[in-house]
Amino acid sequence: MARSEAAASLPVGVAVSGGGDSMALLHLLHRVAPQAGFVLHAVTVDHGLRPESAAEAAAVAAFCASLGVAHDTLRWGGPDATGNLMDQARRARMRLMADWARSRGIGHIALGHTADDQAESFLINLSRAAGLDGLAGMRAAWTQDGVCWTRPLLGQTRDALRAYLRRNGVEWAEDPSNDNDRFTRVRARRALKALRPLGITVERLTTVIHNLSMAQEAVTAATVQAAGAIVEKSGTLHLPRDALTLQSPEIRRRLLIGMIRWMNGSDYPPREAQVRHLEQALHDNRDATLGGVRFRVQATAISISREPCAVMGPVPLGQVWDHRWHVAGPGDGTVRAVGADGLRQVPEWRKSGLSRDAALVCPAVWQGETLLAAPLLASCQNYTATLTASFTLFLISH
């Protein structure tokens, strides 16, 4: 069997909003799919935040039909009463698409971010006095919620992509919010135009971001090397007490932030003052908590686990629970923490070798108040609990 024939069934997703960037990505991927050996699946998330969104999703669906590309529209239930609306929408979009991909056996989703998005983000983060991570640009690829996300167009400008669409007779929708000065990104876009006479262009900033990203890769490699001293067991981490003190301040800071984000699923690190307070507590051999993560100082090691009061509530069996656990098995139970009630129903849980702190926050399958399975604590032939990414893989990809 030829290589292209063997790989022909590989499904690849593409996120399409209807805007110029994502429509160009859709069209380009459709053209290369036969030679690359994958089958393209498009998805549109209708946030319902603008009156035009439903019509734009329908237009994407019609265009996909004309190309012979499978398409699905996902709808968001709406924002919470409090919080950042745009951040909520972004999180919802990623969550909905990840669930969509896993339900269809799709392991990769391509996103349409461009060099202009990189440059605008650079200016926004520069205004916030960001460090290396904030200025090194968007990731070209990473794994989250069991899906590999990629940004193939980071080296292409918005103007070049629209020129491509015009040459190929492809229409796209313009989001009216792109002209609204209330949004920081719109102001950054206009600032870029004002900076052009100084030679500060999207192309120049792309080069700067590339240089910073190489420095970031070197620091990440050093952090991963330092993480070799950490033992991971059933979602908990065990760090030798002297492993932190032997590291430089920056590597130590990155290790602590990495542990917290791996466990709590946050897109953003804790505030610097909070991290410094945590470092001081551990230096003084005191237990501490930060971001829903518990640090317990023991005789020879520091044990890091989820804080029981911070774990996620129930989700249907098969969905990612508490940001990093995928629990699979028969039936239609729900997944939530073992908790004290669950431990009472698993009398042999100590044989797992886990501490009580770690056991309490392990994923379990429930039917009402009846514990069906706790795969990490007792043998369960029909149920499994696996991490979406190991701690080391998380450090590499974040």
Instruction: Classify residue 229: in a domain, yes or no.
Output: no
Largest CA distance in the chain: 72
Query: What stretch of H or E contains 10?
Result: strand 10-15
Clarify whether residues 322 and 190 are in a common domain.
no
Return the structure tokens found at 259.
């542990």
Query: What stretch of H or E contains 218?
Result: helix 202-226
Clarify whether residues 184 and 331 are in a common domain.
no
Instruction: Classify residue 184: in a domain, yes or no.
Output: yes
**Residue that is last in its domain, among 162, 182, 205:** 205
Instruction: Classify residue 166: in a domain, yes or no.
Output: yes
The domain in which residue 187 lies consists of 3-205
Clarify whether residues 149 and 22 are in a common domain.
yes
Instruction: Classify residue 232: in a domain, yes or no.
Output: no
**Residue that is last in its domain, among 155, 186, 205:** 205
**Residue that is last in its domain, among 184, 205, 226:** 205
- Encode the chain (398 residues) as per-residue pLDDT tens digits: 344 444 446 999 999 999 999 999 999 999 999 999 999 999 999 987 777 889 999 999 999 999 999 999 999 876 665 556 677 778 889 989 999 999 999 999 999 999 999 999 999 999 988 889 999 999 999 888 889 999 999 999 999 999 999 999 999 998 777 777 888 889 999 999 999 999 999 999 999 999 999 999 999 999 999 999 999 999 999 999 888 888 999 999 999 999 999 999 998 899 989 999 999 999 999 999 999 999 999 989 999 999 999 999 999 998 889 999 999 999 889 999 999 999 999 999 999 999 999 999 999 999 999 999 999 999 887 999 999 889 998 998 77
| pTM beyond cutoff 0.75 | yes
Instruction: Classify residue 350: in a domain, yes or no.
Output: yes
Clarify whether residues 34 and 181 are in a common domain.
yes
Return the structure tokens found at 392.
């080391």
Clarify whether residues 316 and 201 are in a common domain.
no
CB 188 within 8 A of CB 360: no
Burial of 148 (0-12, 13-18, 19+ CB in 10 A): middle
- Separation of alpha carbons 193 and 200, rounded Å: 9
What is the tally of structural domains in the chain?
A: 2
DSSP 130-181: --HHHHS---SEEEETTEEEE-TTTTS-HHHHHHHHHHTT------GGGG-T
Clarify whether residues 13 and 147 are in a common domain.
yes
CB 21 within 8 A of CB 28: no
Give the tens place of pLDDT for each residue, 273-300.
Answer: 999 999 999 999 999 999 999 999 998 9
Residue 302 confidence (pLDDT)? 96
- Separation of alpha carbons 293 and 304, rounded Å: 7
Clarify whether residues 323 and 178 are in a common domain.
no
Residue 79 confidence (pLDDT)? 64
Residue 3 confidence (pLDDT)? 42
